[in-house]
Amino acid sequence: MRQIRLLALLVLILLVLVSACEAPPAEPTPAPEVPTAQPEETVDEAVPEPTEAAITPEPTPVQEPLAALVNGEAIPLAEFERQLARYETSMIASGLDASTPEGEAAFAQGRQWVLDLMIEQALIEQSAIAAGVTVSDSEVDETVASIRDEVGEEAFSDWLDQEGIGLEEMRDQLRSDMLATAMANRIAEAVPPQAEHVHARHIVVGTEEEARRILSQLQAGGDFAALARMHSQDLSTRDLGGDLGVFPLGVLTSEEVEVAVFALQPGQIGDVVESELGYHVVQVVERFPDRPVEEENLRLLRDQAVRDWLEQLRATAEIQVFVTP
């Protein structure tokens, strides 16, 4: 308290000196008598404590508008709109007219696609961090150099100008793409190149009643291939006697049929199976417990594994969307 009073006294003296310098000269007057009271008491009354109104409040931080939150990670609205603008520019350049009903629908679908892609990218990067998968600066540099060498320096610069992005932004996007590829490869390579296979055949018809009539004929000793050629509505297998070939689990378009045939042993005929194609009567000809997966089927299985992984990431994520595609 004594220090505050002394400081206040010094301020008061300074104010008196300043006033004396600025005031016009006056007639000399006799000096007043010095009061005997303690000067500290006078100082306390002359300098009031600061009020709350005199204190300048801290500025309130302004939150950046968001397009979405993915597990707490922000997707800024400005970045979403920028990527959307690039996509729409490419659509217009391809000849799409946004004023037509078809164009309007395509632009709406593109808006949703861009948002989904950004959410998916965030999920992949979060998964990569958790798995310890990274893309180094040198890997990005090598890829940029490879692109430059392939298209030429002038074409590369023209492309950057056309897209409206700088080299560093292009490097960031390239890193994200490389990271997504690395994670997809990691998931795909986990699919084994060998698997159990079945050799199966089927007859598909339009009604359950017809399918059960055919099933009864087969159970009575009817020839499967002959009945398939006569009744099956599957044009791709009818002339082959309903033969679906040899395949592993996960490649048939009809999951219901696939589940049914993998539950059967060689020679067995299953119950009627309903799918979106119709009503099936199925039979397993042979089973192979461990057989190399054909290249085309292996590609299908690996693509499906990546899709399933992405769907699982999204299903277990906390996603908040703040824009309306």
pTM recorded for the entire structure: 0.72
Q: Which CATH number fits domain 195-292: 3.40.50.460, 3.10.50.40, 2.40.30.30, 3.40.50.1980?
A: 3.10.50.40
Separation in Å, CA 157 to CA 86, 87, 161, 164: 17, 19, 6, 10
Question: What is the rounded CA–CA span in Å between residue 288 and residue 266?
Answer: 10
Position 37 pLDDT exceeds 80: no
Position 24 pLDDT exceeds 50: no
Position 55 pLDDT exceeds 80: no
Question: What is the rounded CA–CA span in Å between residue 203 and residue 180?
Answer: 42
User: Any bridge partners for residue 287, and if so which?
Assistant: 198
pLDDT in tens, 121-146: 999 999 999 999 999 999 999 999 99
Higher pLDDT, 16 or 308: 308
Which residue blocks in the chain are alpha helix, DSSP H?
2-22, 39-46, 77-93, 101-131, 137-151, 153-163, 167-188, 208-219, 224-231, 235-238, 255-262, 295-315
> What pLDDT was estimated at residue 25?
40
- Give the CATH architecture of domain 66-188: Orthogonal Bundle (1.10)
> What pLDDT was estimated at residue 9?
38
> What pLDDT was estimated at residue 59?
61
Domain layout of the chain by residue ranges = 66-188, 195-292
> What pLDDT was estimated at residue 35?
44
Mean pLDDT of 204-219: 98
User: Residue 8 in contact with residue 48, Cβ under 8 Å?
Assistant: no
With 0-12 CB in 10 A as exposed, 13-18 as middle and 19+ as buried, what is 70? buried
pLDDT in tens, 141-167: 999 999 999 999 999 999 888 888 899
Helix crossing, 137-151 with 153-163: angle to 10°? 110
Give percent of the chain above pLDDT 90. 71
From 104-108, 160-164, 219-223, 243-247, the region with the lowest mean pLDDT? 160-164
Mean pLDDT of 241-269: 96
Question: What is the rounded CA–CA span in Å between residue 305 and residue 310?
Answer: 9
For the chain, the average pLDDT equals 85
Position 322 pLDDT exceeds 90: yes
Count CB atoms within 10 A of the CB of residue 184: 18
